[in-house]
Amino acid sequence: MVRWVPFGLVSLVWLVLIGRRLRQRRFWRAGWWLGCWALSALTWTPVALSFGSAMQLGQLPTHWWANGVWVVRPFAPGDLDASFWLNIVMTVPQGALLAINWPQLRWSQWVYVGLAVGLTLESGQALGNALVSLGRWVDINDILTNGLGVVLGALAVTGYRHWRTRLG
């Protein structure tokens, strides 16, 4: 039960931020914070799903540190399993919300925000492992794929806006 405490505390923060934006009638901004909550639900709960095969997991160079498994070498053999691609897909909506809420951002800033999202998610997992033995893997590939998902989501919204503008 104690393993759920970090997610519960973070959920309270997200609830406050979502509530404030809804009261301000800033629905897209509330959607951003709701997306943050969804990402933390996917990554900071003690429910870990594996989409890799046993053979692939055996190929990964891992390290045990601070009550968790760490993958620190990017793109090692066995990395390109379903979870690799799902880490991109799960952050695409956050990237779309980034472009909707902050349309003035440039593509380089999307990259920074994407990396910050990935670092935040993996840091939360590392902290959860250290404090309450969360049981989550901390993986450099997740930082990179989460960042790519954010960039792709922002690119999709920006591309759609340009396409719509050209149509008149």
**pLDDT at residue number 59:** 66
Instruction: Note the pLDDT tens digit of each residue in 76-107.
Output: 877 788 889 999 999 999 999 999 999 999 99
Nearest by Cα to 33 from 19, 43, 49: 19
Backbone angles phi, psi at 80, to 5 degrees: -85, 60
pLDDT in tens, 57-71: 556 788 898 999 999
* Rounded Cα–Cα distance for residues 163 and 56 (Å): 41
Tens of pLDDT, residue by residue over 34-54, are 999 999 999 999 987 776 554
Q: What is the pTM of this model?
A: 0.91
**Spatial distance between the Cα atoms of 47 and 58, rounded to a whole number of angstroms:** 21
Which region holds residue 75: left if phi is over 0, alpha if psi is between -120 and 50, else beta?
left
Tokens at 58, concatenated:
């055996």
CB-CB contact of 148 with 64 (8 Å): no
Let me know: does 63 contact 70? Beta carbons within 8 Å: yes
Q: For the chain, what is the domain count?
A: 1
- Residue 142 structural domain: 2-49+56-167
